[in-house]
Amino acid sequence: MTTPTTPRTPLLPTHTWSASYPMTPSAARLARLHTRRRLASWRWHGDIDDAVLVVSELVANAARHGRVPGRHAWLRLAVVEGGGLVVDVSDAVAGFPGFPGGAAGAMGEGGRGLIVVRQLAHDVSWFPRDGGGKTVRARLTGGGGGGDL
């Protein structure tokens, strides 16, 4: 997945929230905390632990590979009709290197996070942002009423 995808218009959101994070190692920890609290307050019916892990991996990757001086990473969570969750993580670097291939054990220390994201998410895509940069989008099912993401 090295070429961007055209973002599908998700179902109407029933809840939405966003925050920015500095491009530092602590960004993933803060995003995990905020995501867990937000999804619990919304009483989201999906697997919150899976959602927190997806957010953590995407924000960590943005902080590690999308760092541009003076720019932040953006996290957006949206629960859509049917209970699915859309996770958007944006950074200031336009390119997306793609998902690593091969078995996780053969890749060394890096690259496992995106494999985990692909296993937990219903769909993973990316697209360029207006004004520069990119957004990586992961869609998770809600465990409640189904519905297409």
Do residues 90 and 130 make contact, with C-beta atoms less than 8 angstroms apart?
no
90 forms beta bridges with 74, 135
Phi/psi class of residue 131: alpha, beta or left (left: φ > 0; alpha: ψ in -120 to 50)?
left
What span, in angstroms and rounded, lies between the C-alpha atoms of 50 and 3? Answer: 26
What span, in angstroms and rounded, lies between the C-alpha atoms of 126 and 133? Answer: 11
State what percent of residues in the chain have pLDDT above 70. Answer: 79
pLDDT digits (tens, 9 = 90+) for 94-125: 877 665 554 433 344 456 778 899 999 999 99
Tell me the average pLDDT across 14-40: 95
What distance lies between CA 70 and its chain's CA centroid?
21
Record the tokens describing residue 135, joined without a space. 């957004």
Tell me the average pLDDT across 43-48: 96
Considering only residues 68 and 106, tell me which one the structure prediction assigns the higher pLDDT: 68
Do residues 74 and 90 make contact, with C-beta atoms less than 8 angstroms apart?
yes
User: 130 pLDDT exceeds 90?
Assistant: no
What span, in angstroms and rounded, lies between the C-alpha atoms of 42 and 36? Answer: 10
pLDDT digits (tens, 9 = 90+) for 75-100: 999 999 899 999 999 999 987 766 55
R_g (Cα) of the chain, nearest Å = 15
pLDDT bracket for residue 131 (50, 70, 90): confident
User: 52 pLDDT exceeds 50?
Assistant: yes
